[in-house]
Structure formats: C-alpha cells, structure tokens
Homo-oligomer: A and B are copies of this chain.
C-alpha cells in the first residue's frame, strides 16, 4: 500500500470537481479518506478538501495522482518541480509533465510561478518565464518540468455571470428554447466586449451552405468578431457565394443545383490564386462581399488551416498543419469568447489550443460534435444543438449588426 495527502481547493462543489475526483479514485481501485473539509458558506467562498489517497502500490498511486492532478488535485507537500533538459529538438524527456488547459503554477527557485500561456497537451519549459511549449517546438537544452511534483493546477472556476448559462452544460439537447439561447450568447459577447476580451469565430463550410454567411459578414462588419479561424472550404464557399451566387454549385438564392455548376468553387480558388491572396482579390474588386471580404476590410486577422481534403487551395491557406496551428496559437492572445460554428475539425483543433478560461460556445446541428469537444478535454465548452444558418441570423439581429 502507498498513500499520499492531497489538497483540492476552489469552487470544487458547485463545479462538480470534488465529486468527479472521488469517483475517479474509487474507479481506479484506490481508496480515499477526507481528513479535512471546509465547505464555502456561500457561492462566493471557496471550499477546501484535504484527502488521503491510498493505492495498492507506489506506481499505481503515482499514475492516479497524475490523473487527479489535471483536475486541480495538488500534493499537500510543496517542493520544487524537477527539471530535465531536452536532448533532441522536438523530443521530450520521457517523464515530462503534460499540461491541462487550466491555470497552472510551477514551484521553482523556491516560489510559485504562473504558467503564462496555458494550453493542453504541452510540456512546461522553465526559462525567464514559465511557458507551455508544444512537443514539436521544444529545442535541445530547454529545461522541461518532469512529473507533477511542484506543479499546482487551479480547478476551473465558472466565468462570472455565466451561471445563467449553466443549464446548457448539464445536458446537451436540441430540445431547448432557441431564441433564449441566442440571446444568452449575445449577452456573453457583449460582456466579453465590455471587459476588452477578443471574440474568436471558428467556422465550418456549413455556415455558408445553410445561408449563415451574410449574417456572419454583418457581425464582422459591426465589429463583433476580432479573429477568425477556418479552413479552405469555408473561405472558398464564402467567396463563391459572393462572386458567383452559389455554394458547392447550389444557388444560394434559388437552391437550384444547375446554375453555375459543380466547378464554381474551383474557378473561384483559381482566380484568387491568380491574384495572389484574398486581400489582393478584395482590393482589385474580384471579391465584393461576404465574411472574408469583411475580414479584409475590417482588418480582422484570420488563419486558414489546410486539410487533406482541400481543393486548390486558396493562396492564404497554410498547408503545413503544424505551422497553421502555431499561427492559431499566436492569434489567441486576449481571446475571451469563442464561437465554434458548425465545424468539428477546427473546433477540436481550436479547443486544443484554448485556455479553459475562454468562454466557448459550440453551435452544431449534430449533438455528437459537442460531446466530442468535451471528450477531448474542452470541458468549458457549452453546446447549442441548432441549425447554424438561422442561428447566425438571429444572433446578428440580437446584436444589432446591420
């Protein structure tokens, strides 16, 4: 038998974290004893649990504690984190500490230092500051935190004012009052705007196919989107629908498949390639409206990440996916609200990069997409199971975007 005393502190009851932690201990075959518990009297007061965890052997205990740690269960003992140097570029020492997307501190040089850029599934490198670094970017000589000793994770705290939204997180279902949910997303965007948080839109092609593109363009024009992530498909169909009036060859106006044809998206890509970039195609007047046009006009930065299914692609698409993810990382500074609009691939990709403190709304007609996002660790994501086209129309109206 091996045992260790751990501490869990914060809004651990109302956020369900304490319950999940105790459940996980039992499920792993280990046992617990709650040796001390201070319950916050009101919802403003944090709670604090001190728990003795006992497992069959030290290895099992270590594995269990490593898992609990990602929910904010920290060892009671505080010692400095162990560091080890990378030997090879892009390869970590075997026992590296793997990050969560929660706020994290590292004890080094006798004091706690905050990790400046929380991101899940990274290593932590200690230098002048303490940073997360994705595996492919570590360099020989980087000093990497090993194991979870000396690492403190803060459990997720509900965003202020977000409780009104809690009902969505409990169960993701299509059977919810939709006008209301749209209003709430609008409120969170307004609240984000007030505290100077940037708003990120992550878009899939279904935004265009379902007729949501003009509404999203209104939102960009009115200043409600500060940065946009998408792929070749979204940008192409957005431009296609403005230049040729079709999306995947279907007339956006009349729904007929015959007008303009199946190859329209290729012709649009080809012309933009000829101009050299979307911005150039806007400047020269080839593209005269739509989401990408408004992004160029409003100087809203966008990152178009490539995928193996891309035709063309557009010249702005970053075909190297590692480089694309790095550019997305660089654009996340200051983002406080994220809208995932009908995209699985880019939603999961962005979810991987976002700190848990970013309010995230995932809008999709398919309930499974939202579940998938939460399964991949983006626990802060709230799901809205609805049709993205009409949703964007209502959202733009709600925010007074013309």
Chain A residues within CB distance 8 Å of chain B? 13-16, 18-20, 22-28, 31-35, 37, 39-43, 49, 63-64, 66-67, 70, 88, 90-92, 94, 96, 98, 121, 134-136, 163-164, 166-167, 170-181, 184, 205-206, 209-211, 231, 247-250, 252-263, 266-267, 269-271, 273-274, 305-313, 319-325, 328, 344-346, 348-349, 352, 365-368, 371-372, 374-377, 385-387, 389-391, 393-394
Contacts and interface: CB of A to CB of B under 8 A. Distances in A.
Nearest to A270: B92
A93 to B, nearest CB: 9
Number of copies: 4
A249 B319 CA distance: 30
A252 B28 contact: no
Contact of A63 (B176, B179, B261, B375): B261
Contacts of A13: 13, 18-19, 22
Please report whether the interface of chain A is mostly helix, strand, loop or mixed according to DSSP: mixed
B305 A177 contact: no
Nearest to A371: B173
9 contacts: A35-B41, A63-B260, A67-B262, A90-B273, A134-B311, A319-B320, A319-B323, A367-B368, A387-B391
Given A23-B14, A322-B319, A41 B33 contact: yes
Given A256-B167, A263-B121, A274-B91, A390 B394 contact: yes
Contacts of A352: 309, 311
A187 to B, nearest CB: 12
A169 to B, nearest CB: 10
A254 B27 CA distance: 10
A177 B259 contact: no
B344 A344 contact: yes
Q: Which of A70, A247, A368 has the most chain B CB atoms closer than 10 A to its own CB?
A: A368
A372 to B, nearest CB: 7
